[in-house]
Structure 1
């Protein structure tokens, strides 16, 4: 006996066809974005770090462009004398330093002989005044002798520091300044110094001395040593 196979009707295959289409649709549909997690957080921190690094680099470049250069920055210089114990004022009779290239003609004794055989380059002299604690006026002569060599300057300083060898004339002794009752400053206090080729000679005195000559000379010498700093304003 032959078994008959019933015919397949369209309604019998519909569920299978729709099921296949549904599976295909699920395969072809775009995937949903993954939920935020540690990877996204690390990415955000990395971007923030790069942003901060960029700001730091830019700030550094701006500082390099605007900061002053160490090679071009200069320190202002001053022509005033450094501070000291006494206050000195330029004599109105000599408002500007007197300069001369003939030192021998402004010296006396063995100092003149030395400057004749060993000529200087320039002699610069000025006169200042200050006051003692009791109000007496002190006249201070500042002479700067510039020699040709350091050795010549050393020999001149050694010579003028010895007694009885003469010296460079102060402006009162030279007649350039007139002070009543004074013909020289050589009877007061003396100080000297050497700076390379320059010899600085200081003499200070008052028109009248006190009763104690030793104390007077000690004070005049103290004023003369303080006046050594005035030489910086003459050279």
Structure 2
């Protein structure tokens, strides 16, 4: 016996799909779509931040402190030698005079009175011996008017008992406690065209061996001849 299936009527299905559609409409109405990102607002905001950064950079450039230049040691034209010399703080700049005779004694003074120099330039330096002794060195550059006059002065000052150009201690230009002159130490001289370089060195205290001390002072004076490059 075949069972008869009753036909489906529109009235039987209408409530079902209408109900489902109602639920879908309700869901769509209660869940709003995500708001679109306002592109114009972001662009304006980005331009604003860029402007602030530019203004801040300009302000920093205007108010930033200037860097102080790094101090560098003053170059010296003197070549390297055996001893290390430092300029005396008592003579920060070379002492110059066009009258050499007033800064000399003995036959040297008489010669410079008859044969005036063109200029006298002097400096004072210090160095330290290996045993820690401080040595004072006076460097004098006498510029004569001719090379012949310079040769005569050089010959005169290298002979004993003929006087010399005053070192800065003897001349009273500097004060070193315990020293009245550097002439009792070591002496050296040389001629360079019209210039005669005269160097004298000594220390306040001498060692127990006087000849050995004088030999060391003479050695220092010969090395200090190169310092004339700083004075000319």
TM over 0.5: yes
- Counterpart of 1:177? 174
Structure 2: 5+ residue runs without aligned partners?
A: 1-74
TM-score of the aligned structures, taking structure 1 as reference length: 0.67
1:165, 1:114 → 2: CA distance? 10
Q: CA deviation at 1:208?
A: 1.1
1:82, 1:199 → 2: CA distance? 18
- Which residues of 2 match residues 86-101 of structure 1 at below 5 A? 86-101=83-98
- Counterpart of 1:193? 190
- Which residues of 2 match residues 111-150 of structure 1 at below 5 A? 111-150=108-147
SS at match of 2:188: strand
Q: Deviations over 1:87-121 (max 9, x none)?
A: 00000000000000000000000000000000000
- Counterpart of 1:49? none
1:223, 1:98 → 2: CA distance? 21
Q: CA deviation at 1:79?
A: 4.1
- In the alignment of these two chains, the number of paired residues is 158
Could you list the structure 1 runs, at least 4 aligned residues long, displaced by more than 6 angstroms after superposition. none
1:80, 1:122 → 2: CA distance? 20
1:227, 1:79 → 2: CA distance? 13
Say whether 1:155 aligns with 2:152.
yes
2:194, 2:178 → 1: CA distance? 35
- Which residues of 2 match residues 23-172 of structure 1 at below 5 A? 79-172=76-169
- Counterpart of 1:223? 220
- Which residues of 2 match residues 8-19 of structure 1 at below 5 A? none
SS at match of 1:139: strand
1:171, 1:217 → 2: CA distance? 19
Say whether 1:205 aligns with 2:205.
no
SS at match of 2:225: helix
SS at match of 1:202: strand
SS at match of 2:201: strand
Structure 1: 5+ residue runs without aligned partners?
A: 1-77
1:90, 1:115 → 2: CA distance? 28
Q: CA deviation at 1:206?
A: 0.2
1:94, 1:102 → 2: CA distance? 19
Q: CA deviation at 1:133?
A: 1.1
2:139, 2:117 → 1: CA distance? 17
2:171, 2:124 → 1: CA distance? 12
Alignment RMSD (CA, Å): 0.7
- Counterpart of 2:37? none
